Amino acid sequence: MARKKKTDWSKDVFKVLKKADVQQIAYVPDAGHTSLIKMAIADNVIKPVSLTSEQEGVAVLSGAWLGGEAGALLMQSSGVGNVINMLGMANECRFPLLMLVTMRGEWGEFNPWQVPMGQATEGVLEASGVIVHRVDEPSEIAETVEAAAKLAFEGGRMVAVLIGQRVVGFKDWTK
């Protein structure tokens, strides 16, 4: 099966984050977030924060809100397992939290080690009180992030956008 042609959804998502006045972007890299991370680093307002572990991201964005700024956390689905306990803080304090999660362990996954966490991602987020918006259509990613940002920052909730592996594409490091 031919790989889906990658559409450049990252630019539109970045525009949405800028419009939502996101000023801190914390991330643990994923191939699917490559463009967004580059744009965050190049932007002269956004403060990009690279993390050793995703749990730091929930903490730093909690601090961002406490200090009067909005932020977003970029990570891969495997990183969702690292944030669960820290989400308890965001939940208890009702911190707005916007997470953009690129999925592994599902559509066409070649690495069996990715499958357990990928399959558990949506369930553990919901069990932790996070509202989950899943998107598998590239043309719908930006509007989904826009809705999620509104729900997070204005609705005062923890919201995760799961970007399906079908969108991100098969991972093939041999090319």
**Residue closer to other proteins (CB basis): 19 or 94:** 94
Query: How many C-beta atoms lie closer than 10 Å to residue 113's C-beta?
Result: 11
Piece of the chain touching other proteins by CB under 8 A; list 6-14, 87-95, 131-139, 165-173? 87-95
86 sits near other proteins (criterion: CB under 8 A)? yes
Residue with the two structure tokens 């972007």: 25
Cβ-proximal residues to 133 (8 Å cutoff; 6+ apart), any chain: 144, 147, 148, 159, 160, 161, 162
Which residue in the set 5, 8, 44, 68 belongs to the binding site for other proteins (CB under 8 A)? 68
Residue 41 engages other proteins in binding (rule: CB under 8 A): no
44 binds other proteins, rule: CB under 8 A: no
Only segment of 33-41, 57-65, 122-130, 166-174 that touches other proteins (CB under 8 A):
57-65
Name residues contacting other proteins, limited to 10-29 (CB under 8 A). Answer: 23-24
Rounded CA separation 61/72 (Å)? 7
Distances in Å between the Cα of 81 and the Cα atoms of 1, 8, 85, 175 are: 31, 28, 9, 29
Site for other proteins in 91-150 (CB under 8 A): 92-95
Q: Which residues pair with 101 in a beta bridge?
A: 75, 162
What is the distance between the alpha carbons of residues 173 and 151, in angstroms, rounded to a whole number? 36
In the complex with other proteins, which residue's Cβ is closer, 9 or 65?
65
Residue closer to other proteins by CB (options 52, 174) is 52
Q: Which residue type is seen at 65?
A: W
Residues near other proteins (CB under 8 A): 23-24, 47, 49-53, 55-56, 58-69, 71, 85-86, 88-89, 92-95
